[in-house]
Structure 1
Amino acid sequence: MLPRRGEVLHFSEDPSITRFEPHVAATAQQPEAYVWAVDATNSPCYWFPRHCPRVCSWDEGVPRIHAIEDRWLEAVRTTRLYAYRFAADDFEPFGERPHAHVATRPVSPLAPPEEVGDLVRLHAEHGIELLVLPALGDHFADVRARGLEFSAIRMGNAGIGPAGPFPTRR
């Protein structure tokens, strides 16, 4: 499930949204209110349940790999995910090296959402290896050390902060 030319996508487990209002996400690192969407490069990073921690890596000449913890595999297999299509002109690239697109005013999808389908199969159809690991910490460290392009999403749900694994609590 990728955007068509001139589109960006927003993925959700809720198929009933008819209008998207800018808001400050609970995990936001900035105070501004946005509606978030992604382009073709970043869409595959959202072919997961919302709260699933994952490390998505790619680079020229390197196969794309998405890694999750094994405890999330069943949710990846069973989650019903929907894609909302938006006109890319309603959004602006976000950040110095854009990983997302944002709108600062309410936006409506171009059409009703489309069910994404089997998320494991979708990865295979696009030649993306879905790596299932006991934990993400070592893999995340390796991706960063190799200098690959990456997106690490919901890593707090895997006990990993910006600098690496959170200390073990006793």
Structure 2
Amino acid sequence: MRPADDEVMHFSEDPTITLFVPHVAATSAETEAYVWAVGHDRAPDYWFPRDTPRAMAWVRPETTPEDRDRIIGAGSGDRVHAVEYGALEQMRAVTLYGYRLPAAPFRPIGAAEHALVATEPVAPLGPPEPVGDLFALHEAAGIQLRVLPNLWPFWDQVVGSTLGFSGIRLRYAAARC
């Protein structure tokens, strides 16, 4: 589930949101109130229950063939997401919803432009759509989904590589080995 060209998306376990109102997220380093969303490329980062720690890596133009083969794997696509074993049951059980929002009020935030923000309330373009089976969604998108006993060894390899990467909710990950 990804947004169309004139849309952005917000993913939530709450199917009752009728208006997204700017707020300061408890987990954000930002002090300004925003409505948060993602575009097409970053939507897969949120195909997880909200508090699931995950480490993600993808091929960029500057990625070396050695890093791609070492971390993603030869012939294994261009993107990998990793979670810990403890996330599996929640990923099977969660009902996640995708809200389609108009793209016009949103602008990129941060140097990595990993997210989009709006400073005004934004109404969804329609009712939320159930995302469905999160494993099937990854498979259909050609994204590897790895299950690891601990995210930190993978994360350390990724951040020291030429791959693009993102880590979300890592504070909930198991302690470093």
Q: TM-score, normalised by structure 2?
A: 0.88
Structure with the larger strand share: 1
Aligned partner (choices 96, 101, 106) of residue 81 of structure 1: 96
Within a 5 Å distance, the mapping from 1:55-74 to structure 2 comes to: 55-60=55-60, 62=68, 63-74=78-89
User: What CA deviation, in whole Å up to 9, does each residue of 1:28-62 have, x standing for no partner?
Assistant: 11111111000111000000000000011101475
1:8 and 2:23 aligned: no
Name the SS of the counterpart of 1:89 in structure 2. coil
Task: Quote how far apart the aligned CAs of 1:159 are.
Answer: 5.0
Name the SS of the counterpart of 1:68 in structure 2. strand
Aligned partner (choices 132, 137, 159) of residue 144 of structure 1: 159
Whether the 8 Å CA contact 2:33–2:119 is kept in 1: the answer is yes
Calculate percent identity across the aligned residue pairs. 51
- Find the aligned partners of 1:6 and 1:85 in 2 and give their Cα distance: 10
Unaligned runs of 5+ in 1: none
Q: How many residues align?
A: 162
Which residue type is aligned with residue 95 of structure 1?
G
Within a 5 Å distance, the mapping from 1:70-109 to structure 2 comes to: 70-109=85-124
For 1:24, the equivalent position in structure 2 comes to: 24
Q: CA RMSD in A?
A: 1.4
- Find the aligned partners of 1:97 and 1:51 in 2 and give their Cα distance: 22
> Which stretch of structure 1 is more off in the superposition, 138-147 or 46-55?
138-147
Whether the 8 Å CA contact 2:81–2:146 is kept in 1: the answer is yes
Task: Quote how far apart the aligned CAs of 1:131 are.
Answer: 0.2
Unaligned runs of 5+ in 2: 69-77
For 2:147, the equivalent position in structure 1 comes to: 132
- Find the aligned partners of 1:147 and 1:140 in 2 and give their Cα distance: 13
- Find the aligned partners of 2:162 and 2:92 in 1 and give their Cα distance: 30
User: What CA deviation, in whole Å up to 9, does each residue of 1:82-128 have, x standing for no partner?
Assistant: 00001111111111221010011111001111000000010000000
- Find the aligned partners of 1:110 and 1:126 in 2 and give their Cα distance: 24
User: What CA deviation, in whole Å up to 9, does each residue of 1:15-38 have, x standing for no partner?
Assistant: 000001111111011111111000
For 1:41, the equivalent position in structure 2 comes to: 41
Name the SS of the counterpart of 1:146 in structure 2. coil
- Find the aligned partners of 2:110 and 2:99 in 1 and give their Cα distance: 22
Q: Specify which structure has the bigger relative contact order, considering alpha-carbon pairs within 8 angstroms and separated by 6 or more residues.
A: 2
